[in-house]
C-alpha cells in the first residue's frame, strides 16, 4: 500500500545543446565511418536509403558512450550477464551504447514496473501492455515519441503495420512502439489428438462453442478419469467471449462488429450471456473439472494427459508449440468459425516498448528500438542467446540447440520472443517449426480487420473513484459466471446491484461519451 516512498525528485533532461553541437561537428567524419553500416545485415540497407545511411553513420561517429537501462518481460535466466555483455558489444558497434538488461517474468513484472516507475529510476525502454499503458500514459510516465520516430525510427515505420502505431496513440501522440507479431488471436481449444482419433471426432462442423458438446459428452461417458474440458476459473468462457467482444475498460466492452462501439457491461450482451449459460450447463453435466472455480494452474493435468481439451488463444502453429512442450500431439480448433475476425486495441497493444520520461537519452533508446526492427543479429541475440553457446544455425533462418545443450540445460531459454519488442518477422525459426511460419502469420494477419476503436484508449480520469470501486467487483465477482458454478439469472442481479452502488453507470456514461467523441473525430 505504499506510495511515494523514497521518491527522489528527478528532473528530466532534454538532449543538451552540447550534444547537438557535437553531432554537427562530427558530421565531417561521416565518410570515414560510413563503412561501418556495411556490417549491418541486409535488412538495414533495404529499409534505409543511401542518404539515411550517411546520416546514421554521422550519429554513430558522434554519439557519446551511453548505457541503456531496459526492462523486459522475460524470465530470470542464468546466462543473462553473458548475453548482456555480448549485446553491449553489438550495440557499441551500432549506436555506441552498452546495455543493462532487467528481466522479470509474469509473476513479478507488473509489480516491478510499478515500483520502478514510482521510484523515478532512469529507464530507457520498458515493456508495457494493454491497460497498464492506458494507466501510465495519462500519469505521464512515458515520453511522446512522434518526433523521435520521425528522426530515428525509419526502420520502425518501414516494418510495422500502421495499425500498431495507431493503437499506441493517446490523444494524437504515440507513446509506445508495439511489437510486430500476430495481430489478433482466435479463442478456441487444443485437443488431445490421440483421444480425438480414437472416437473419430470431426471438428470441421464446429461453428460456435456449443458445437463441442457432443464430443465432450462422448468423452465424459467413455473415458472416466479424463476431464473433458479443463478450465482454470472459467478461462474457456473468457476466451470464447473474446472472439465477440472487445474490452474498453475492466468489465466494460463493445461488440467487435459494432461500428458505433456501443459500450455495455461485458456480461450484459446476449452473446456473452449465452456463453455463461453454456458454461453453467457444462459444469452441471460434469464436462468441466469440478474444481474449476479454484484451479489456478492446469499444467499438471495437461502434462499427465488427464484433459481431453482446454481453451487457448490460438494463432497459426499454436498446437505445434504446445505439443513440443507437452510431449504429445494436439490439434487446434477455433471456437468460432466462418466469421469475420477482428483485431482490437487490446490485441495490438499486448506487447510494446515505451521510453520512460526518466530516460537520460531518449534518442538512443529510440535507436535501440529501431535496431530491433531490422537488425537480425541484435534481435536474435535478445531472443535466443548467443550463437554457438545457446543455439546453432542449421540454415539461414532456422536454428537448433547448440551442441550439448538441451531445453533443460540451456542458460538462456524460456523467453517470450513476442515480448522482446521489434519485429518478430526477423526472428529465427526452430528446426521443428514450419519454415513458412512468418508467411503464414502474414496471411493470418491479413485475414482480420480493425474494430472501430483502434487508437482509442479509455481514460478513467473523470471517474477514478467509481472505476476503482467497480474494478474491485469485476476482479472478483465475474469468475463464478465464467466458471459456470452459478446461474446467470440468480447471480447477475446481485452483482449488477453491487456495480450500480459502486457507480458503474457513471463509468459507462463516461466511457460512451469518450467513445462517441473518438468515433466522431475519426470521420
Partner 1 sequence: MRALSSFLKELKSNKEMFLMLLPAFIFVLINNYIPMFGIILAFKDFNYLDRFGSPWVGFRNFEFMFMSEAAWRTTRNTIGYNLLFIMLNLLLGVAVAIILNELRHRLLAKLYQSVIFLPYFLSWVIIAYLAYSILSPNGLFNMSIAPFLGIEKIDWYTEPKYWPYILTAVQIWKTIGYGIVIYLAGISGIDQAYYEAAVLDGASKAQQVTQITIPLLVPMMIVTTFLALGNIFRSDFGLFYQVPMQQGLLQPTTDVLDTYIYNSLIFTGDIAMSSAAGFYQSVVGFFVVIAANWAAGKISQDNRVF
> CA separation (Å) from 422 to 24, 87, 175, 353?
29, 15, 15, 8
End-to-end CA distance of the chain: 44
Judged by CB under 8 A, does residue 70 bind partner 1?
Answer: no
Distance, in Å, from the CA atom of 149 to the CA atom of 291, rounded to the nearest integer, reads: 49
Judged by CB under 8 A, does residue 12 bind partner 1?
Answer: yes
The binder of partner 1 chosen from 50, 204, 296, 406 (CB under 8 A): 296
| Residue among 120 and 185 whose Cβ is closer to partner 1 | 120
- Closest Cα to residue 313, out of 221, 199, 184? 184
The binder of partner 1 chosen from 32, 39, 294, 505 (CB under 8 A): 294
Distance, in Å, from the CA atom of 320 to the CA atom of 435, rounded to the nearest integer, reads: 13
Residues in the chain: 523
How many CB atoms neighbour CB 472 within 10 A?
13
C-alpha atoms less than 13 angstroms from C-alpha of 99 in its C-beta half-sphere: 33
Judged by CB under 8 A, does residue 140 bind partner 1?
Answer: yes
The binder of partner 1 chosen from 135, 147, 323, 487 (CB under 8 A): 135
Judged by CB under 8 A, does residue 508 bind partner 1?
Answer: no
Planar angle of CA 160, 161, 166, nearest 5 degrees: 105
- Closest Cα to residue 68, out of 404, 407, 358, 444? 358
| Residue among 371 and 478 whose Cβ is closer to partner 1 | 478
- Smallest gap from Cβ 392 to partner 1, in A, equals 40
* String of contacts with partner 1 for each residue 432-471, x by CB under 8 A: ----------------------------x---xxxxxx-x
Judged by CB under 8 A, does residue 261 bind partner 1?
Answer: no
> CA separation (Å) from 293 to 214, 288, 297, 403, 485?
24, 10, 11, 45, 7
* String of contacts with partner 1 for each residue 185-224, x by CB under 8 A: ----------------------------------------
- Smallest gap from Cβ 490 to partner 1, in A, equals 12
User: Which of the stretches 36-44, 93-101, 288-296, 407-415 binds partner 1 when contact is defined by CB under 8 A?
Assistant: 288-296
The C-alpha cell that represents 284 in the structure block: 452441471
The binder of partner 1 chosen from 89, 173, 260, 291 (CB under 8 A): 291
Residues that bind partner 1 (CB under 8 A): 1-7, 9, 12, 110, 114, 117-118, 120, 131-132, 135-136, 138-141, 250, 290-291, 293-294, 296, 357, 460, 464-469, 471-473, 475-480, 485-486, 498, 501-503
Amino acid at each position: 500500500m505504499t506510495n511515494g516512498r523514497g521518491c527522489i525528485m528527478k528532473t528530466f533532461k532534454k538532449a543538451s545543446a552540447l550534444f547537438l553541437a557535437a553531432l554537427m561537428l562530427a558530421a565531417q567524419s561521416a565518410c570515414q565511418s560510413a563503412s561501418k553500416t556495411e556490417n549491418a545485415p541486409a535488412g538495414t540497407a533495404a529499409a534505409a536509403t543511401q542518404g539515411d545511411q550517411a546520416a546514421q553513420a554521422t550519429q554513430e561517429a558522434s554519439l557519446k558512450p551511453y548505457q541503456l537501462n531496459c526492462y523486459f518481460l522475460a524470465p530470470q535466466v542464468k546466462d543473462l550477464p553473458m548475453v548482456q555483455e555480448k549485446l553491449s558489444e553489438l550495440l557499441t558497434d551500432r549506436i555506441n551504447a552498452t546495455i543493462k538488461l532487467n528481466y522479470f517474468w509474469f509473476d513479478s513484472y507488473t509489480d516491478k514496473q510499478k515500483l520502478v516507475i514510482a521510484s523515478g529510476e532512469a529507464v530507457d525502454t520498458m515493456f508495457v501492455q494493454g491497460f497498464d499503458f492506458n494507466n501510465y500514459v495519462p500519469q505521464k510516465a512515458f515520453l511522446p515519441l512522434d518526433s523521435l520516430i520521425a528522426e530515428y525510427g525509419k526502420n520502425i515505420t518501414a516494418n510495422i503495420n500502421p495499425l500498431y502505431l495507431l493503437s499506441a496513440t493517446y490523444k494524437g501522440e504515440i507513446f509506445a512502439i508495439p511489437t510486430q507479431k500476430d495481430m489478433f488471436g482466435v479463442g478456441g481449444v487444443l485437443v488431445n489428438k490421440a483421444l480425438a482419433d480414437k472416437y473419430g471426432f470431426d471438428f470441421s462442423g464446429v461453428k460456435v462453442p456449443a458445437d463441442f458438446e457432443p464430443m465432450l459428452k462422448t468423452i465424459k461417458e467413455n473415458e472416466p478419469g479424463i476431464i473433458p474440458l479443463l478450465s482454470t476459473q472459467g478461462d474457456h468462457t473468457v476466451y470464447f467471449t473474446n472472439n465477440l467482444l472487445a474490452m474498453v475498460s475492466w468489465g466494460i466492452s463493445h461488440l467487435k462488429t459494432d461500428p458505433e462501439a456501443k459500450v455495455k457491461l461485458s456480461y450484459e450482451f446476449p452473446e456473452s450471456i449465452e456463453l455463461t449459460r453454456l458454461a453453467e450447463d457444462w459444469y452441471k453435466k460434469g464436462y468441466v473439472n469440478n474444481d474449476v472455480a479454484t484451479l489456478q494452474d492446469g499444467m499438471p493435468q495437461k502434462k499427465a494427459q488427464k484433459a481431453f481439451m482446454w481453451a487457448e488463444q490460438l494463432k497459426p502453429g499454436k498446437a505445434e508449440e504446445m505439443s513440443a512442450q507437452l510431449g504429445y500431439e494436439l490439434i487446434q480448433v477455433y471456437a468460432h468459425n466462418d466469421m469475420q475476425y477482428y483485431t482490437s486495441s487490446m490485441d495490438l497493444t499486448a506487447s510494446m516498448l515505451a521510453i520512460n520520461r526518466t530516460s537520460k537519452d531518449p534518442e538512443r533508446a529510440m535507436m535501440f528500438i529501431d535496431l530491433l526492427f531490422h537488425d537480425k543479429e541484435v534481435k536474435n541475440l535478445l531472443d535466443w542467446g548467443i550463437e554457438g553457446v545457446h543455439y546453432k544455425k542449421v540454415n539461414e533462418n532456422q536454428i537448433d540447440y547448440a551442441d550439448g545443450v538441451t531445453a533443460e540445460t540451456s542458460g538462456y531459454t524460456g523467453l517470450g520472443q513476442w515480448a522482446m519488442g521489434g519485429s518478430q518477422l526477423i526472428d529465427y525459426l526452430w528446426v521443428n517449426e514450419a519454415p513458412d511460419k512468418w508467411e503464414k502469420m502474414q496471411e493470418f494477419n491479413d485475414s482480420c480487420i480493425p474494430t472501430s476503436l483502434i487508437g482509442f484508449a479509455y481514460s478513467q480520469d473523470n471517474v477514478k473513484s467509481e472505476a476503482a470501486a467497480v474494478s474491485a467487483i469485476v476482479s472478483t465477482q465475474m469468475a463464478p459466471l465464467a466458471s459456470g458454478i452459478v446461474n446467470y439469472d440468480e447471480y447477475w442481479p446481485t452483482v449488477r446491484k453491487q456495480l450500480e452502488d459502486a457507480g458503474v453507470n457513471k463509468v459507462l456514461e463516461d466511457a460512451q461519451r469518450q467513445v462517441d467523441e473518438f468515433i466522431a473525430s475519426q470521420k
